[in-house]
Amino acid sequence: MIFSKVRDPRLVTIRRGGTLTDPDHHLLALWAAACAEHVLHFFESTAREDPRPREAIEHARAWARGEVNMMQARAAGGHAMGAARDLRGAPRHAAFAAGQAAVVAHVAAHELGAAAYAIKAVRAAAPKADADSAGRLECRWQRDQLPEAIRELVLDDQRLRNDLCWSVFDS
């Protein structure tokens, strides 16, 4: 569960009563896609023939460019999460990261889901003694990818929802 009981209006689009602009919503989706793609190799090394997580990441980007609609991106996200069903560890978390990235088109607050699952994937792939430091490095990498326009929003969201996201943003 990555959502708080009260939705942050900064992560709700203006047309739905929040303050999130479409350009910033698109940036959130693109950032989430970058986070998911960074760990996609964990999934693809295990399930080479399954295109669903990669397609979900592509749909997140296509939605941000206006090439697919929200329902198409959301469906691709669901399919990516379905690819995780029978897996464990890093491949499972990587597929979930891809699915979360695609569903940012539907609910912007999924951006933290993509990032958190990516960190979980890196931690799961690392030797146990190195898992925490690997997670911190991944978190730093993600933060380095943040566009300036959404940087403070995402960093504040990480502070507010860190405990709901397995405390992966402690760094």
pLDDT, residue 2, reads: 83
Query: What's residue 1's pLDDT?
Result: 61
What pLDDT score does 66 carry?
A: 98
3-state secondary structure of 9: helix
Mean pLDDT by runs of 10 across the 171 residues of the chain is 88 97 98 98 97 98 98 98 97 98 97 98 98 98 98 97 94 62
Task: Judge contact between 77 and 101, C-beta under 8 A.
Answer: yes
What is the residue extent of each domain of the chain?
Answer: 9-165
pLDDT given for residue 4 in this prediction: 87
Residues 6 or more apart whose CB falls under 8 angstroms from that of 35 comprise 97, 101, 114, 115, 118, 142, 145
